[in-house]
Amino acid sequence: MSKSYFDETHCAIGHPKSTFMQWMLTVDHKRIGLMYAAVMFTFFFIAVATALAMRFELFAPGAQYMDGDTFNQAFTLHGVIMVFLFIIPGIPAVFGNIVMPLMIGAKDVSFPRLNWFTFWLYIVGCIVALSSLFNFSDGAFNFADTGWTFYAPYSLNTGTNVITTLVAAFILGMASILTGLNFLVTIHRLRAPGMDFFKMPLFVWGIYATAWIQLLATPVVGITLILAILEKFFGIGIFDPSKGGDPVLFQHLFWIYSHPAVYLMILPAFGIMSEIIPVFSRREVFGYRTIALSSASIAGIGYLVWGHHLYTSGMSDLAKTIFSFLTFFVAVPTGVKFYDWVATMYKGKIVLSTPMLWALGTMVTFAIGGLTGVTIAMVGVDIHLQDTYYTVAHFHYAILGGVVFLLFAGMHYWFPLITGKMYNETHAKIAFWLNFIGFNVLWFPMFIAGYLGMPRRYFDYLPEFQIYHQISFWGAIIFITGLAYMFYVLIQGWRKGESAGVNPWRATTLEWHLPTSPPPLENHTKVPYVDFNPYEYHHGEPVVKFDENMKRID
């Protein structure tokens, strides 16, 4: 039995004997990806539990289980964890690390030690972020209640440690920049010979576009941090109007980073979709180049649309008009991708395995999330819908129903690659349906409540909205049951599942042509020569085949 990456590893420092230290010091991209996943999902479940607590409170008008302040702290905790600790590292940190080098035939990322350092930088960032949520004011330790957007002047004059939070964002941002840099260099320098940019799998394209956003947008966090420090410690009025500053400037700086950040979340997710659809349609992808280039153009236009978060902030009408116009042009390449995916299914052979179910489910939920985003890109309509549940529902349909659902799709798709085992398909499909139904019951009523005038971040509400909150509550119960069930099925699969073999899905990309399952430490036995397209199928079977020494046998 040959050794897999679970059995041996390279370490950043020395050659530790203990398994624990081998994991802590590992530079292997696959192990680092797994450790990211472990930390991220721990935070994910904390934030899910907080969200459930809020749903309990919102079941009826009035205060039942918590007071207004506790509720405000709860949605702050939920938002900060979900956005900064879970979804921003997200797919690049897990699958960018584990799968991307395998897809391009590399033995690791370009800078494995930097990758190890980045992981620990992320951990430090998490610790600072969580500690910044506790602050000392009025003689007692309090928990931040600013919301994840930290809008000034509220965040500046409520005793919240906005400086510490920005430091955390800066450290996490640094980790993000270094990850992006590492991936950019890896994709440019370590592609297998013969693999030009238009022979890369589409997931690699998604990671590539994302890496540029990470590298170029994240430094704005640093600018914001310096300005906040100047204000806090030197009394220079930047954001606080009582010192002569402009609170809306903070919103601009915040969204200059945070808006590209949502594309940073979604682009690798689209990459996963582009992997799954052709494999489970058993044919070549439709419009390879348009999918690849649309990722790049979304990343580009994504920098120029942040102002659509400020339609009601008092910004000038001309700026609103321009930002609105530009925003619509993000929707065009996104729409093109969707039509390409649907066209990929035409005259294929649709295999409804769990990853495909998740992908198709996401087509529905993300289509809703994307189209409702178009609604609130319309300035006049957004004047009504800004800061209502409509916007909350849109965001969750796009990010949870888009990014996280595709992260789950990727988990099911690459599970046999990473663990070498297979989960129970029947149970995994039941878990999908619970999630899908629960998700829609949970968030769809919020569109209606929002349109009817239910503002977000309300701990108590007018009785007219009660019915929507109650439907949402039952959706949340179904959804959380589905989540727990899904993780149970996956964990059981890892512990007791049958061996999957190297290519259980009969896929074409290089990560499915490894010598053993799970993969060995240094991946492919020999770097292959790539003179073929990533999704070459003939009559439903992969065209290109390798033996265990990466010798073409087709």
Partner 1 sequence: MLEGFNTSGAVIAAHIDQAFWVNFWVSIVLFCSVVLPMLYFAWKFRESKVKNENIENITHHTGLEITWTVIPTIMLIVFFWYGYDSMKTVRTMPDSGIAINVEGSKWKWRYEYPANEAGHVHKLGGAYIKQKQDENGKVIEEGTMGKSALYVPVDTNIILSMTAPIDDVIHSFYIPSLRMKEDVVPGRTTKLWFNVGTVGEYDIECAEYCGTDHSYMYSRLVVLPKAEYEAWFNSTEDTPKGNYATSGDAVLQLHGCKSCHAIETDKVLVGPTLKTRTLTSEQVLDVINNGQNKLGYDMGAMPAGLATGADAQEIAAYVAGGMKGAQPASFAACSSCHGEDGKGMYGMSPNLVEYDAQLLSNVLKHGKKGIIGNMPAFPYVSDEEVSAIAEYLQNTK
According to CB under 8 A, which residues from 128 to 167 bind partner 1? 145, 147, 151, 153-154, 157-158
* Residue 217 vs 330, nearer CB to partner 1: 330
User: Does 194 help bind partner 1 (rule: CB under 8 A)?
Assistant: no
Query: Looking at beta carbons only, is 299 or 356 nearer to partner 1?
Result: 356
Reduce the DSSP state of residue 26 to 3 states and report it: strand
According to the binding rule CB under 8 A, does residue 297 interact with partner 1? no
Give the Cα separation of 80 and 233 in Å (integer): 25
Interatomic CA distance for residues 341 and 360, integer angstroms? 10
Beta carbon nearer to partner 1, 108 or 145: 145
Name which of 9 and 72 has its Cβ closer to partner 1.
72
Q: What is the DSSP letter of 498?
A: E
275 binds partner 1 (CB under 8 A): no
Asked if 121 and 39 touch (Cβ cutoff 8 Å), the reply is: no
Asked if 324 interacts with partner 1 (CB under 8 A), we say yes
**Residue from the set 313, 481, 492, 525 that interacts with partner 1 by CB under 8 A:** 313
Shortest approach of partner 1 to residue 18 CB, angstroms? 47
Applying CB under 8 A, among 38, 127, 226, 350 the residue interacting with partner 1 is 350
Tokens of 289: 């180049």
64-123 residues in contact with partner 1 (CB under 8 A) are 68-69, 72
φ, ψ of residue 104 to 5 degrees: the values are -100, 10
Q: How far is the CB of 540 from partner 1 (least distance, A)?
A: 4
**Least Å from the CB of residue 484 to partner 1:** 28
Binding residue for partner 1, selected from 15, 188, 349, 545, defined by CB under 8 A = 349
- Hunting for tokens 């499909």 — which residue is that? 429
Residues 226-265 that bind partner 1 (CB under 8 A): 241-242, 246-248
What is the DSSP track for 195-262? --GGGS-HHHHHHHHHHHHHHHHTHHHHHHHHHHHHHHHH---SS-GGGT--HHHHHHHHHHHHHHHH
Which among 120, 108, 95, 94 has a CA at the least distance from the CA of 37?
94
Which of 61, 219, 300, 515 touches partner 1 by CB under 8 A?
61
Write down the least CB distance from residue 69 to partner 1, Å.
5
Distance CA 478, CA 460 (A): 24
Q: In the complex with partner 1, which residue's Cβ is closer, 53 or 378?
A: 378
Instruction: Return the exposure string of 380-396: e unless at least 16 CB atoms fall within 10 Å of the residue's CB, then b.
Output: eebeebbebbbbbbbbb
Note whether 382 binds partner 1 by CB under 8 A: yes
Three-class HEC string of 315-344: CCHHHHHHHHHHHHHHHHHHHHHHHHHHHH
Candidate list 196, 347, 495, 553; residue touching partner 1; CB under 8 A: 347
Q: Report the distance separating Cα 343 and Cα 413, nearest Å.
A: 21
Site for partner 1 contains 282 (CB under 8 A): yes
- Stretches 2-10, 21-29, 36-44, 287-295: which one binds partner 1 (CB under 8 A)? 287-295
Binder of partner 1 out of 18, 233, 234, 317 (CB under 8 A):
317
Closer CB to partner 1, 13 or 462, in the complex: 462
Sign of the dihedral defined by the CA atoms of residues 519, 172, 11, 18, in that order: negative
Give 52 or 452: the residue with its C-beta nearer to partner 1.
452
User: Which residue in the set 31, 320, 394, 469 belongs to the binding site for partner 1 (CB under 8 A)?
Assistant: 320
Angstrom distance (rounded) from CA 376 to CA 305: 13
- State whether residue 6 is helix, strand or coil: coil
Q: Interface mask (CB under 8 A) for partner 1, residues 465-494, using x and -? A: -x----------------------------
Using rule CB under 8 A, residue 460 touches partner 1: yes
For partner 1, which stretch binds (CB under 8 A), given 18-26, 264-272, 336-344, 470-478?
Answer: 336-344
Those residues whose C-beta lies under 8 Å from the C-beta of residue 475, and which sit 6 or more positions away, are: 438, 439, 440, 441, 442, 443, 444, 445
Q: Among 462, 526, 529, 554, indicate the residue that binds partner 1 (CB under 8 A).
A: 462
- Residue 339 binding partner 1, by CB under 8 A: yes
